[in-house]
Amino acid sequence: MRQVRTALALLGATLCTLAGAALPVSPAAASTDAGPTAPAPKKLFTIQDDRIEESSGLAKSVKHQGIYWTVNDSGDTGRVFAVDATGEVKAVLRFGAKVTDVEALGVDRDGTIYIADIGDNKENRDQIEIYTIPEPATLEDESNVKYHRYDFKYPDGAHDAETLLIEPGTSQLYIVTKALKGTGAIYEAPPAPSREGTNDLTKLAAAPSGVITDGTFLPDGQRVVLRTYADVATVAWGETPNAIARGAAPLGQGETVAVGPTDNTVLVGSEGANSAVYQVQVPAKAAASTPPTGSATPKTATTPDSNSSDSGKSHNLRWIIIGAALFALIITVITFPPGRRERQDRQAENARLTGQSQPTPHRRQHS
């Protein structure tokens, strides 16, 4: 039996080797085991302008390359700042609204700036406001910029919030509330908010865990990046938004996040004077290894390379079939019932080795 087991082991190893030679591994499956390593955060600039003491929102310009819009936290007047890639303020846009607590802003695909007056630390506001102004054609200071005001209220009472999301394809608005205990929620605005009366928000889903301080849709419209005090979370958007990855981000008291200058990057910042802005990689869900798949377009059999490849595969396949046949033969020999005399000899040997009494040979009864 030892020789048989050895032969089986050798045969199994040979079959595995031949099978491995016959089945190539796809590069995609082979490269996802370790997972990609995200690059380290890169400091892009520092906002050193004395007028920006508490940057509480950040949004990438649509009309001006390399420009980001930012706003101050509560206590400021109605104004937004255009900041370039060195942190220098290039323009200040002032609008005449009396704001309460501006906490976020965004820019839609048409170049409309949304200023979200949605902060409510005491959770006692009857309604919140979002103001819109157009991005200017040229970057220069402007006073008395024409604006529109939209009023909103929650269906379940007042909430504090610091996050405004604008869906890239439709300009649909969402607000994500901030919860110091438990989790916040995602609320959806009407598809076409009215400037007359108060618009009712609709609760869409629970927000991911963490104290959420800002957020942005990525350009694909399929993912959202949410900022917390400690990290950034990538959310797969849909009927039920779901956090699929999280990644550490620099800076304490993280306050802002905006679409980055390159694909799959975002900018993150913090409040306070001389606040630094970093570029970080969007957290990505680890790719799972997938079984190799055949090519969607079969190769033409008349090309020399495909003939050589097919010949090699056929050669390996023949050896696999031969090996399988030998394996089946050995299994058949092992499992086929032995003769009566061989079975009795084996039983007697087992009894001798274990110290048991030897079995009495079975005798056929004659009638």
- Check residue 43 and give its pLDDT: 94
CB atoms under 10 Å from CB of 211, counted, come to 16
pLDDT value at residue 322:
53
Per-residue pLDDT reduced to its tens digit, 266-313: 999 988 888 999 999 999 987 654 444 443 333 333 333 444 444 444
Query: Sheet holding 112-117: strands in order across?
Result: 104-107, 112-117, 128-134, 148-153, 198-200
Token representation of residue 59: 């949004």
Residues 3 and 123 in one domain: no
Where in the sequence is the domain holding 146, given as residue range(s)?
48-281
One domain, residues 96 and 156: yes
Flag whether 299 is in a domain.
no
| Domain assignment of residue 76, yes or no | yes
Query: Is the domain of 219 the same as that of 323?
Result: no
Extract the tokens encoding 244: 């699929």
Per-residue pLDDT, 288: 57
Query: Which residues neighbour 113 within 8 Å (Cβ) at sequence distance 6 or greater?
Result: 59, 69, 80, 93, 105, 106, 107, 132, 133, 134, 135
pLDDT-above-90 percentage for the chain: 59
Residue 207 belongs to a domain with what CATH number? Answer: 2.120.10.30
197 and 155 within one domain: yes
- Whether residue 9 sits in one domain with residue 57: no
Please give the Cα distance from 17 to 22 (Å, whole number).
9
260: confidence class by pLDDT, cuts 50, 70, 90: very high
Mean of the pLDDT values across residues 21-49? 57
Answer yes or no: are the C-beta atoms of 86 and 134 closer than 8 Å: no
Whether 32 is in a domain gets the answer: no
Q: Is residue 293 part of a domain?
A: no
Same structural domain, 198 and 325: no
Question: Is 352 inside any structural domain?
Answer: no
Question: Whose CA is closest to 82, among 28, 127, 141, 133?
Answer: 141
* Residue 314 sits in the same domain as residue 236: no
Q: Is residue 341 part of a domain?
A: no
Confidence of residue 314 (pLDDT cuts 50, 70, 90): very low
Q: Which residues pair with 206 in a beta bridge?
A: 185
- How many domains is the chain partitioned into structurally? 2
Q: What are phi and psi of 342, to 5 degrees?
A: -65, -40
Same domain (yes/no): 271, 311: no
Task: Say what the pTM is.
Answer: 0.69
Buried b (16+ CB within 10 A) or exposed e, 67-79: bbbbbbbeebebb
Verify that 121 and 219 share a domain, yes or no.
yes
Last residue of a domain, one of 246, 281, 316: 281
Please check whether residue 42 lies inside any domain of the structure: no
Residues 263 and 330 in one domain: no
Give the pLDDT band (50/70/90) at residue 154: very high
Both 159 and 12 in one domain: the answer is no
Do 225 and 270 have their domain in common?
A: yes
